Amino acid sequence: MPEKVYQPLIQNIRETVSISEQELMLVLASFQPKVLSKKEILLQKGDISNHMRFIADGSLRVYYLNEKAQEYTIQFGIKGWWVNDLYSYLTHQPANYFIQALQPSVVLQIHRDSLNKLFDQIPSLERFFRIKFEKAYVALQERTLHRASLSAKDRYEQFRAQYKDIEQNIPQYVIASYLGITPEFLSVLRSQE
Amino acid sequence: MPEKVYQPLIQNIRETVSISEQELMLVLASFQPKVLSKKEILLQKGDISNHMRFIADGSLRVYYLNEKAQEYTIQFGIKGWWVNDLYSYLTHQPANYFIQALQPSVVLQIHRDSLNKLFDQIPSLERFFRIKFEKAYVALQERTLHRASLSAKDRYEQFRAQYKDIEQNIPQYVIASYLGITPEFLSVLRSQE
């Protein structure tokens, strides 16, 4: 695996905390790359998520199935972002969500036990994750409480602003389920652009 | 303010992380006690929450007003717990919630700036809050996503198990709004106990 694949993670850490070169090498050595083909499942409902996961290349989505086996996409993840069923990771409970690659992707993974050991050695890394968990809290609140108050048109515009680089890789029906609308209504919104 | 009021906070920190006596003294010196009378408002909608807040004595509730000015209680806080509009604290946005004392209470508060300074001096404290934010994420997910799948009866039983020490201090209509049911239906549930 070429070193290049670690660059987005190095950047992500360095833009959040100050960390020495030596500490950074120690951190990177604990992340394993996982190569995913298009549509490959990274995490299944029912599995326990034991890793924190960083997207080094490509894009993924997080979705669940309702009791009628319909897919609801709740989140997208693009290069430079973290992706997980964080509730499963934090509680050791089986995941409620699936995580799937939308295109050929590379994810860097660190096991919970390795991460906890590193926290003892590298306080900067603990700061990094303290800040990440703060952001995860904010994102969850925005997703569950605030987004419900936006109109479908506003949600679509927010989606386009956030995910413009990957929009062309995402099937229509996935975007529609993320927006909570039908594919037909998505076409109407697009024709108004 | 007698030292006794700091005991629950000392216990809360010590049961989560190991910290020296000297570091602990430094931490406690940055917390200011705030005495609240029954029904007193600690945080108002529209204010920015600039403090992390620990309940040293008494109990509080977090609620919002809908567009018809009806109160919805979303959370209770009892002695030994943290209480906040955490979204407001983390984003510096105006609070969406009110925080009110249910009985005479004492809250220990630390300003965001003091806390961030302490993180540089005391890595154990940063670990403490890294763990707190993980738990806050889990609690938010349980509140917003999982609780919706419980029946009113199960929600009431969960409430009783969690808040048995303060149930007698909480008005009926507040408990009903927390459970998402009418006060009349709450009476029916209680008569079935």
What confidence tens digit (pLDDT) does each residue in A64-101 have? 998 888 888 988 999 999 999 999 999 999 999 999 99
Check A87 against B138: CB less than 8 A apart: yes
Is A57 in the same domain as A26? Answer: yes
Residues A12 and A82 in one domain: yes
Instruction: State the residue range of the domain holding A145.
Output: 3-149
- The answer to whether the Cβ–Cβ distance between A129 and B129 falls below 8 Å is no
B123–chain A Cβ distance below 8 A for any pair: yes
Cross-chain residue pair B137–A137, CB shorter than 8 Å: yes
Mean pLDDT of A107-136: 97
Residues A112 and A178 in one domain: no
Q: Which helix (H) or strand (E) holds A141?
A: helix A123-141
Average pLDDT of chain B, as a whole number: 91
Residue A182 is predicted with a pLDDT of: 87
Give contacts of A116 with chain B, Cβ < 8 Å. Answer: none
Neighbours of B92 (CB within 10 A): 10
B166: pLDDT strictly greater than 60: yes
Distance from CA of B169 to the nearest CA of A (A): 29
Alpha-carbon distance A109 to nearest alpha carbon in chain B (angstroms) = 19
Say if B179 falls within a structural domain: no
Note whether B173 contacts A: Cβ–Cβ < 8 A: no
- Of A168-177, B42-51, B69-78, B182-191, give the range with the top mean pLDDT: B42-51
- A120 plus A155 within the same structural domain: no
pLDDT for B146 equals 62
Contacts of B118 in chain A (CB under 8 A): none
Q: Last residue of a domain, which of A149, A170, A185?
A: A149
Average pLDDT over residues B129-148: 87
List the single residue in B with minimal CA-CA distance to A136: B137
Which residues are registered as beta bridge partners of A71?
A65
pLDDT band at B187 (very low <50, low <70, confident <90, very high): confident
Determine the pLDDT at residue B147: 67
Assigned token pair, A1? 């695996």
Q: Is residue B157 part of a domain?
A: no
Q: Which residues of A123-152 are buried (b: 16+ CB within 10 A; e: fewer)?
A: bbbbbbbbbbbbebbbebbeeebeeeeeeb
pLDDT tier at A37, thresholds 50, 70, 90:
very high
Give A7's pLDDT tier (boundaries 50, 70, 90): very high
Checking if the pLDDT of A39 tops 70, the result is yes
Beta bridge partners of A98: A63
Q: How far apart (Å, rounded) are the C-alpha atoms in residues A1 and A156?
A: 37
A121 interfaces chain B, CB cutoff of 8 Å: no
What is the helix (H) or strand (E) element at residue B114, kind and residue range? helix B112-121
Alpha carbons A91 and B166: distance in angstroms, whole number: 27
Contact B78, B163 (CB under 8 A): yes
pLDDT per residue as tens digits for the range A136-157: 999 999 887 666 678 888 888 8
Give me the phi and psi of A34, to 5 degrees please. -130, 120
What is the H or E stretch that residue B98 is in? Answer: strand B98-101
Q: What is the pLDDT, as a whole number, of residue B92?
A: 97
B22-32 residue pLDDT tens: 999 999 999 99
- Distance, CA of B61 to CA of A61 (rounded, Å): 36
Q: How does residue A190 score in pLDDT terms, banded at 50, 70 and 90? A: confident
Residue predicted with more confidence, B174 or B62: B62
Neighbours of B170 (CB within 10 A): 18
Q: Give the model's pLDDT for residue A146.
A: 62
pLDDT at B185 > cutoff 70: yes
ipTM of the complex: 0.89
Cβ–Cβ contact B129 with A under 8 A:
yes
Measured distance CA(A43)–CA(A96) in Å, rounded:
10
- Order of strands across the sheet that contains A41-43: A41-43, A98-101, A59-65, A71-78
Q: What share of chain A is helix, strand, coil (3-state, %, to 5)?
A: 50, 25, 25
Angstroms from A140 CA to nearest CA on chain B: 8
For chain A, percent of residues with pLDDT exceeding 90: 65
Would B85 be classed as within a structural domain? yes
| Contacts of residue A132, Cβ cutoff 8 Å, sequence gap at least 6 | A16, A82
Read off the pLDDT of residues B36-57 as tens digits, 9 standing for 90 and up.
999 999 999 999 999 999 999 9
- For helices A112-121 and A123-141, give the axis angle rounded to 10 degrees: 130
Among A132, A149, A166, identify where a domain stops.
A149
Q: Do residue A34 and residue A44 come from a single domain?
A: yes
**Are A9 and A78 in the same domain?**
yes
Whether B126 and A126 lie within 8 Å, measured CB to CB: yes
| B125 token code pair | 């404290």
The pLDDT of residue A155: 86
pLDDT digits (tens, 9 = 90+) for B77-132: 999 999 999 999 999 999 999 999 999 999 999 999 999 999 999 999 999 999 99
Average pLDDT over residues B140-144: 85
Q: Is the model's pLDDT at A49 over the cut of 80?
A: yes
Q: Is the residue at B97 inside a domain?
A: yes
* B138 has a chain A CB within 8 A of its CB: yes
pLDDT at B2 over 70: no
Same domain as A145, residue A54: yes
Report the length, in residues, of chain B: 193
The number of distinct structural domains making up chain B is 1
Q: Does A136 touch chain B (CB under 8 A)?
A: yes
* Contact by Cβ (8 Å): A107, A56: yes
Are A74 and A158 in the same domain? no
Q: Residue A67: its pLDDT value, please?
A: 86
Q: Which of the four pLDDT bands, split at 50, 70 and 90, describes residue A166? A: confident
Here the CATH number for the domain that contains residue A62 is 2.60.120.10
Region of B46 please: left (phi>0), alpha (psi -120 to 50) or beta: left
| A33 and A19 housed in the same domain | yes
Contacts of A136 in chain B (CB under 8 A): 137
Q: Does some domain include residue B168? A: no
